[in-house]
Structure 1
Amino acid sequence: MADKAFLTSEILKWARETARISVDDAAKKVSVSPERYLTWEKGNDFPTIRQAQILAKSFRRPFSLFFLPEIPKDFHPLQDYRRDDAKELDTASLFIIRDVQEKQSWISELFEEIGEDKLPFVGKFSINDNPEAVAKDILDVLKINPNNYQKTPISEWIDKAEMAGIFISRASYLHSHLVLDRDLIQGFAIANEYAPFVFINSKNWNAPQLFTLVHELAHIWIAKSGISNEIDIDYTDKPKSKFHPVELFCNQVAANALMPREIVTQLGADTFESSKMIFKQAKELGISSFALLVRALNLNLISQSQYKILKNEAQNEFEIFLEKERLKKEKQKERKSGPDAYLLRLNKNSKLFTRIVMDSFKNGSLSPSIASNLLNTQINKFQKFEKLLA
C-alpha cells in the first residue's frame, strides 16, 4: 500500500481555493471521486505521497508547504484596477501573478541585501501631477525618442526599460492548458524601489502590447502596483465611472509618451486624410490607428465627424489585418513552426532577470536547484538562454 502524505487539510483546501480550481477538477487531477477528495480537505483521510505531489504541482505550491501546521502568509494581492464589471481572475491569471511576485520578491531581497541603490523614478510622481510631465520623464529616463526608433518600437521600449532596471515579463500562457485571457488581464505592475516588474499579456498584437507596457510603466512612476485589463485610450464612448482614476491617468501618460504633442501636431495634414495614411504613421510610432485617431481628436487636429468616419475606416482595415494574422498563424501551425520555446521562456522570465540569475549561479552565490526553479529550466539547458541573450 502506498505511503500516505499526512498533510494539513486546511492548507490543502487553501491551496486549491487560491488557485481557483474546483473540487471536481482537483479530484480529476489525481483520478479520484470528488467525494474521496473532500475527505482529504476535511482531514478524515489523506492522499498518497504521489497524489499530494501532483496536487502541489497543480496548485503551484511547494510540496513541503502542505505539511506546515497553519496556512502561511501569501503574497499580498495586487490592487485590482480593472473595470468595475470585470470578471473574476482565473487560474492562469493568478498563477502568472504569483510567478512574477516570486521572482520580484527574490530579486528585490537580493538587491536590498547587497546594497543596490533605490531607483529614483519609482514613485517620483503622483496621480495629481500632469500626465504630460510624467510621460516626458519616462522618455527622458529611458532615453527614448518616439520620432526616431532604432528598432521595432516595442523591442526598443523593453530593452531601454530593462537597461534602466525595470524587469519586463511577457507571456500568453503558462502551458497548453493554462492560456492567459486578454479580456481578464492585459498587464500588471509591481512598483518596488529596488526591482520594479511589469508583466504584459503577449496574447495581443504588438501595438496594444506597447500601449500596455507604457501604461504599466506609468504605474511604476506613480508607485501604484496593480492589475489592468482594458487598457485603451479610446474610452470616449464608454462610461468613465467604470474606469479607475489611476487607469485613466496611466492611459493619459501612455498616450503622451507614445504620441508626444510636438510629434503629433507636426504630422502633415495628409496624414488624417485616409485610414491608410493613419495606419502608416501609427505603425512607425508602434501604436494602433485607433490610438492615433483619439490622440488627434483630443489635440483638436481632427473634428468629431472626421474622427467617426476615419474610425470606421480604421475598423475595416483592422479586421482585414486580423484576418491576415489569423491565416499567418494557421500556416505556421501547418508547418509546425513557431517561436522558439526557450525564447518564449526567456521573455516570460524577463531577459534582465534571467541574466542576473544565471550570473549568480555561475559565481556560486545561487544553488542549482534555486536557479533552476527561478528560471523554470534545467541547469543543463541554461546555454540555450546564453545563446539567445548573446
Structure 2
Amino acid sequence: MSYSGEQKYEQRAFLPDEARAVSPPSGTVSPALLQWAVERFGNRAELERRFPKLSRWLDGAELPTVRQLEAFARATLTPFGYFFLPEPPREEIAIPDFRVRSGKPLRLTAKMQALIGMLQIRQEWLSEYRQRSGRPRLEFIGKFDATVAPQKAARDMRAVLRLPDDWPRASSTRADALATLANQAEAAGVVVVFNSVLGNNTHQRLREEDFSGFALVDQYAPFIFINTGRERAKAAQIFTLAHELAHLWLGQSGISRVTLGQEAGQEIERACNRIAAAFLMPEALFRAAWQELHQEPLQEMTYRLSEQWKVSRAAIVVRALELNLLDRVQGDTLLEELRSSYEEREEKAAHAGGDFYRMQMRRLGRPFVEAVIEALEEEELSYREAEELLDVRAKALTRLLDRFTPS
C-alpha cells in the first residue's frame, strides 16, 4: 500500500456514497440527524456544555447556523455531509464488539469508531511495510481457538514473550510489571498503544466506562490498544493487556470491556479472561502462594496476593474461585464489596503529559514509530506522509527524529 494523506482517519469514517456527494442545501437540517449525532457521540452533557442551544436544536425550536453545524460536526466526529442525508445512516462496526453492560450490548461511540479507523490505517501500512521488508509471519496469531485449555495458551504466551512463570512477582511495582509485559509483547512483534485521548486530541477524551481495550489481529502487524482513562489503575491495565494478548493467540479481533467477577457476554471473552488469569497467575505457583497465607484473614490475604501478582484484588478472588480455593459465597460477597468500593481504583493512572517523546512512544507504539522512521530514511515515505501516519505536525516530527534511538 502506498500511503497517502487522504487516508487520514477522519476521512475514513464509514461515509456512505450519498453523503460524499451532498453539498449543504438551502433547506433545514433534520433534528433527527442531530439527535443521532448526539447519541453516536455518547456524551450529551459534554456537548451541552459546548453548545448551549443544543436542546433547542434537538426540539426543532431553533436550527444551527452553518458555522455552528460545522463546529458541531467537528465536536461529534461526524462527517458534515451526514447532516443532509434523508435519514441517519447505518454504520458498519469495524471489528467485533464484545462489550456488554447489564447483559446488553453497548453502542460504539464516534470516538471509538475514529480511534479504530486510525489504528487500522496504521496497521495496514505497517503490515505491508513488514512484508516488503521480508519480516516473517507471526506464528502465534490464531494459534488456538476458544476451546483451548487456559493453561496451555498461557504457557505458550509466556514462552513467546520470554517471560518466566513468576514474572509479575519479580517486578517491584505494577508500573514495572506493565512496562515489562508491553516491552516483551512489542519485542515479539505486537504494537501496544496506551492512550486516554483520541490520537493527540486532548479535547476528545476516552471514557473508561466505554471500553478497556481492543485487539486488531494481523499476521504481520497485530495492534493492541489499552484505554488509560483517568481512573484506570495499573492493575486493570495489566489484566487488560493480558486479555488482549489472548485475543491475538485466539486470532480474534475485538473490542473488550473487561469485567472480573461478572459473566462476560460471549464465550470468546470468557476464554480470554481465563487465559489472562492463567498467564498472570499460574496455577501451581498461585496455589502455593495461597497456601502460605491461608491463615490470614481473607481481606488481608487477597490484598497481599494482589501486591505479589500485580493484579487487582478482584482478579485474585476470581482466580481463587476458578481453582476452588475459596468458597463461592465468600468469594461472591467479597467481589460485591470490591465493586461497590473505590478500593480497586487506589492506584490511578497518571494523567497523560510530561516528556513528549515518551508520551508519543506510548500513544503510537514504539515498533510503529521505528518502522515509520525507517521508511522515512529509506525514502519510502515523505515527511508529510510520516506526519499523517504519526498524527503529528512537522515540528513534533522533528523532535521525534532528534530523540529517536533504534531499539
TM-score above 0.5: yes
Aligned to 1:70: none
- Counterpart Cα distance in 1 of 2:277 and 2:347: 25
Contact conserved, 1:271 with 1:278, CA < 8 A, in 2?
A: no
Structure 1 pair 11–202 and aligned structure 2 pair: CA distance change class (3 A): farther
What residue number does 2:11 align with? none
Cα deviation, 1:201-256, whole Å, max 9, x if unaligned, reads: 11111111111111111111111111111x12312xxxx4x611111111111111
Following TM superposition, by how much is the alpha carbon of 1:166 offset from its aligned partner in structure 2, in angstroms?
0.6
Match of 2:16 in 1: none
Offset of residue 96 of structure 1: 1.3
Q: How many residues align?
A: 352
Find 1:137's aligned residue among 142, 156, 159: 156
1:210 is aligned to 2:238: yes
Deviation at 1:283, TM superposition (A): 2.4
1:196 counterpart = 2:222: yes
Report the CA distance shift for 1:76/1:116 in structure 2 as closer, same or farther (over 3 A). farther
Q: Which residue among 252, 259, 267 is the counterpart of 1:224? A: 252
1:315 Cα shift? 6.1
Question: Looking at both structures, which has the greater relative contact order when contacts are Cα pairs under 8 Å and sequence separation is at least 6?
Answer: 2
Amino acid at match of 2:384: S
1:234 aligns with 2:261: yes
**Equivalent in the alignment of 1:168:** 192
Partner of 1:117, secondary structure, is coil
Residue in structure 1 matched with residue 22 of structure 2 by the alignment: 9
Instruction: Tell me the CA shift for residue 101 of structure 1.
Output: 1.1
Structure 1 18/361 Cα, relative in aligned 2: closer, same or farther at 3 Å?
farther
Change (3 A) 1:249 1:21: closer
Provide Cα deviations, 1:75-134, integer angstroms capped at 9, x if missing partner: 971011122513312222122111111111111122233332111111111112222211
Deviations 1:19-58 (A, max 9, x none): 9469x97xx99x9x979xx999xxxxxx79xx98x78866
Q: Which runs of 4+ in 1 moved over 6 A?
A: 10-13, 15-19, 54-57, 59-63
SS in 2 for 1:352: helix
SS in 2 for 1:265: helix
Matched, 1:122 2:141: yes
| In structure 1, C-alpha distance between the alignment counterparts of 2:322 and 2:178, rounded to whole Å | 24
The 2-side partners of 1:183 and 1:313 are apart by 19
1:77 aligns with 2:99: no
Displacement, 1:302?
2.4
Larger displacement relative to structure 2 (377-386 or 89-98): 377-386
- Picking from 369, 391, 397, the partner of 1:382 is 397
Q: Among residues 243, 265, 274, which one is paired with 1:243 in the alignment?
A: 265
Do the aligned partners of 1:187 and 1:228 also contact (CA within 8 Å) in 2? Answer: yes
Deviation per CA, 1:232-291, whole angstroms, max 9, x where unpaired? 2312xxxx4x61111111111111111111110111534342323422322232211111
Indicate if the aligned counterparts of 2:338 and 2:344 stay in contact, CA closer than 8 A: no
Distance change >3 Å, CA 127–CA 148, structure 1 → 2: closer
Three-state SS of the structure 2 residue aligned to 1:266 is helix
TM-score normalized by the length of structure 2: 0.72
- Deviation, 1:60, is 6.2
The superposition leaves residues 279-335 of structure 1 with CA deviations (integer Å, 9 ceiling, x where unpaired) of 23222322111111111122122223443565467568x63564x657x97xx8xxx
1:232 alignment partner AA: T
Distance (whole Å) between structure 1 residues aligned to residue 78 and residue 338 of structure 2: 46
CA contact (8 A) 2:160 2:188 kept: yes
Asked if the contact 1:191/1:220 (under 8 Å) is kept, the reply is yes
Letter in 2 for 1:197: F
Following the alignment from structure 1 to structure 2, what is the Cα–Cα distance between the partners of residues 200 and 11? Answer: 38
In the alignment, the residues of structure 1 paired with residue 123 and residue 77 of structure 2 have an alpha-carbon distance, to the nearest angstrom, of 17
Paired letter, 1:217:
L
* SS in structure 2 at match of 1:287: coil
Alignment-derived partner of residue 94 in structure 1:
113
